[in-house]
Structure 1
């Protein structure tokens, strides 16, 4: 709480600094940046100067920041408070009744091998979020309403301007990524339908997307936390000894809070502490391969921060889309490692499915979120949006993204997804898909290069806050992100897994 109270003072200092940079005459500014002491942070100074041109008076900006404590930030905190009260009743096999937190119910709903259990929890999950839907609707309306009002008062009419600038990304790049994905969706729909058939259904049910595919006598492998740690460290080492050493340090120093206990919210995240040069991870671990992948994902974030601690502070502020690149790359290492050690056809099918679940999340689920947020922001610009309208928007977005291929939908997904309620970052979701495909390109590069990869990879990570995303891709990968070729190449790599899954499973339907 003390941190939040002090935040407006820091923001006021940054306001004054930004405006002073913006006030410098252009010729003097260009001359100033030729100073050898400033060259390394010139890009970041240019961004700060750009932002300074949008700012109002120091007093007005201070009012915005102070009011946001009980406005934007308060609504985001309010969401956490409501989520903490979510309880999902459940009866275990032995007849004992338990009350699951949102985090526990989410893991069980997505990964339980029993379809009846998944269906039961999904029904109770929808009910739990719908019972508090009006509270979540108020929260979302006022949180994004505050953001839209603030943008408008700063002369920003396009609600995507801020997230694009935050991610140092062109609209053209984002549009090209989504349009290329959209053109390639049918094979992923076919995969979902095939998986549904393997699970005994004609069409995929929402709650079954991450269900394990267990054929023949195959039982899904589980990992204790210590086994997960050993597996991650071993496979990180094949690509980067420094990644492996870092991961080992994170485990040994207890930087990962993964206890499966009541009261925890769903999801996982990584938080960095510059003063101690540590990164700590929060998640709920329940022994499945998905949770092993989550640990690897968050360790990718932590490693990204670790290779930048010696840089100027301004050059450590990398954007979310490239942050998701490092994390997804780490996750890819673990996914491929599990595939390589598969002993049977049934096990390989199971592990391919686990890997493809990530692709579905990036190409379908997160596209749903992007479509939904666009529609919600457009409606919110005209006034408050009702709970019913929000749920309708969500179902429509799901149908559009999944090509209307599912047997059922999740109307209150908007309420259950934390990412819509984060105060610091608008449009929190599309950077995941960007990072996924960008990391696919890096992973292919790693497999080709092998010997020099570690140095090249760390060099790319160290540049992530010092140039635009398009410049980063051009410098380190030699690709143009505004063209579909790069995105198609990444999707083609994923389609190889889809084709293999379809081939291996054809005799089981």
Structure 2
């Protein structure tokens, strides 16, 4: 019955969201030219190196989502209402019951991970403060958080072919099998990355099991961040590739370990970019981009998790207005960023596709898990060298057959419910910040 009603319940409201987003056009002025751009193009402009452009686009971007806030409020409320009705039918009171089950994750593991992150937040606030100094402002705005540093130099850009070649070269250093797979994906044109109007924000990878192929969708603009995004999605595709010959019942893996494969691939590219920097300035710029991933997973994703947790509890009591959603979102961002910003993005709940995913609630914490889990795996791979390739593939092949805790115990010999592993993984990210602060001491 739930599956039948899902067509006009979960799926219907999720599809409705996509329909509304496709109508959004944001008026922007870039290089003296005024034009209307899609939501996806406007999102990329929020990382424009010119702060004046970002300020103007951020205002227009927020206004565009706010103008349709009632439509998005209706959509989110009814999608969540259907989900909560399902939960009541199953006698589930904890809104995390389903996402934890989907991710085959113990709630104690999730709590341990967040607690360790919170212990180290001060380090990442220091990074945000230093970045504000480099921008010549007191505090960063939300749109500054992921904007690139330029240090009075031209921002690095890769043509699509250059980005592809860089990915193949770096993949090959770790795993020839991963590089060979990525090469095949490029040659077979499995990737739709054109920067054009009417595309929604973000990127994703989808599998086609019967054809034994994958497809990737994103908007590529040549910045180092989008090269890393492309690598991220190829990591997903590689995961599907290596698990394809497992028994069918063992090929359905959880999102948190799916994000491990993708962020592992992304880390290869981000780390290589920093190590191959030709100058101190270029190294600072690329290191800032790399640290941006830690900010995304430890602060931005944390805000999404806090918002969604509180929204679902509020939704149990009835419909939640657009204004209340704005307040819940901004409060979550303030807490997650520890009030380090001067301006937040209260309409984020309407602009983020992940809140409207039909199949998976709490499409947030698995990213943070995958990032930290992949950091531990990545540095173990660096220590062991090329021989780690087969161990990594073996881990991926077991992701559909085990709980997350079992997977970590078998392949890494660790207990995820204890803080030790998470502390070690955080040390890696903290080290990046410390290096960044040292390199920029003489610039402020």
The normalised TM-score by structure 2 is: 0.99
Matched, 1:105 2:42: yes
Shift of 1:343: 1.2
Q: Provide the rounded CA distance (Å) in 2 between the counterparts of 1:501 and 1:96.
A: 36
Q: Provide the rounded CA distance (Å) in 1 between the counterparts of 2:282 and 2:104.
A: 41
- What does 1:78-477 correspond to in 2, within 5 Å? 78-93=16-31, 95-110=32-47, 112-216=48-152, 218-477=153-412
Contact 2:37 2:197 in 1 (8 A): yes
What's 2:4 paired with?
Answer: 66
**3-state DSSP class of the match of 1:271?**
strand
Residues 140-167 of structure 1 deviation map (CA, whole Å, 9 limit, x = unaligned): 1000110010111112121111100000
Residues 280-332 of structure 1 deviation map (CA, whole Å, 9 limit, x = unaligned): 10000111111100000000000000001111111110000000000000000
Q: Provide the rounded CA distance (Å) in 2 between the counterparts of 1:163 and 1:369.
A: 14
Shift of 1:188: 0.2
What's 2:419 paired with?
Answer: 484
Structure 1 runs (4+) deviating above 4 angstroms are none
Q: Which moved more, 1:65-74 or 1:374-383?
A: 65-74
Contact 2:175 2:386 in 1 (8 A): no
Q: Provide the rounded CA distance (Å) in 1 between the counterparts of 2:29 and 2:285.
A: 27
Shift of 1:96: 3.1
Contact 2:220 2:226 in 1 (8 A): yes
- What does 1:35-54 correspond to in 2, within 5 Å? none
Shift of 1:109: 1.1
Structure exhibiting the larger radius of gyration computed from Cα positions: 1
Residues 111-137 of structure 1 deviation map (CA, whole Å, 9 limit, x = unaligned): x11000000000000100000111101
Q: Provide the rounded CA distance (Å) in 1 between the counterparts of 2:9 and 2:428.
A: 44
Residues 257-282 of structure 1 deviation map (CA, whole Å, 9 limit, x = unaligned): 00111100000000000011001100
Count of aligned positions: 444
Contact 2:109 2:417 in 1 (8 A): yes
Shift of 1:387: 0.8
Shift of 1:451: 3.3
**3-state DSSP class of the match of 1:99?**
strand
The normalised TM-score by structure 1 is: 0.86
Q: Provide the rounded CA distance (Å) in 1 between the counterparts of 2:318 and 2:166.
A: 51
Shift of 1:108: 1.0
Contact 2:30 2:53 in 1 (8 A): no
What's 2:15 paired with?
Answer: 77
What's the C-alpha RMSD, in Å, of the aligned pairs? 0.8
Contact 2:195 2:220 in 1 (8 A): yes
**3-state DSSP class of the match of 1:97?**
strand
Task: List alignment gaps of at least 5 residues for structure 1.
Answer: 1-62
Residues 176-211 of structure 1 deviation map (CA, whole Å, 9 limit, x = unaligned): 000110111001011001001101111111001111
Shift of 1:230: 0.4
Q: Provide the rounded CA distance (Å) in 1 between the counterparts of 2:143 and 2:325.
A: 20
Q: Provide the rounded CA distance (Å) in 1 between the counterparts of 2:426 and 2:147.
A: 23
Q: Provide the rounded CA distance (Å) in 2 between the counterparts of 1:425 and 1:499.
A: 36
Residues 58-110 of structure 1 deviation map (CA, whole Å, 9 limit, x = unaligned): xxxxx3222221111100001001100110112232x4321110000000112
**3-state DSSP class of the match of 2:214?**
strand
What's 1:22 paired with?
Answer: none
